[in-house]
Amino acid sequence: MDFHSAFSALSIIPTDWIIIACAFILIAADALRGGSMRAASIALALPIALYLFSSIPQTFFLGNFAKQLSNPYAQAGMFAFLAAIIFICIHQMILTFDISSSFTSSAISALAAVILILVVWVQLPALGQIWHFGPLIQSIFGEQYRAFWIVGSYLALAFVGS
């Protein structure tokens, strides 16, 4: 078997789209197996974490600590910690989502979650240091269309949850 032609065909696809497809497949598989609750929790937690992360430097207790974190990986770790805490809280709040799910609702919830991951990733410079998406992804999920992507994703999750 000659795999050279298959690998050369795959090398044409940009790495950004491969990462996005892998995230979609993982979230869709989880939603298909266990329902859309985790996808909805991710989708709700990330924008809230982005807002809270941007307000941390002005807080009383954490402001000085946050100003000392000049390393982008430390900032990304702090964002991941904050997002994980919010994810756990939201996940416990929305136990009304279905436990088993169809393929269509799993795909819709995974797509909504991946879109919100991309919107938050493009907006947060600390995450951009870990992986910097190309200009096409940044223009699609950037500042101009951010509100439309967020509202559309939440509408899709509301449709799946109903």
Residues 32-66 have pLDDT tens digits of 888 778 888 888 898 888 888 887 777 777 777 77
- 156 vs 147: which has the higher pLDDT: 156
Instruction: At 75, list the tokens.
Output: 């900032």
Tell me the DSSP string of the chain: ---HHHHHHHTTS-HHHHHHHHHHHHHHHHHHHH-SHHHHHHHHHHHHHHHHHHHGGGSTTTHHHHHH--SHHHHHHHHHHHHHHHHHHHHHH-TTS-SS--HHHHHHHHHHHHHHHHHHHHH-HHHHHH----HHHHHHSSTTTHHHHHHHHHHHHHHHH-
Exposure letters 55-87 (e unless 16+ CB within 10 A, then b): ebeeeeeeeeebeebeeeeebbebbeebbeebb
Return the pLDDT at 95: 66
Q: What is the pTM of this model?
A: 0.66
- 57 vs 79: which has the higher pLDDT: 79
pLDDT band at 2 (very low <50, low <70, confident <90, very high): low
The residue-averaged pLDDT of 132-147 equals 87
Nearest to 41 by CA among 108, 107, 101, 87: 87
Return the pLDDT at 26: 92
Provide CB contacts within 8 A for 61, sequence distance 6+.
none
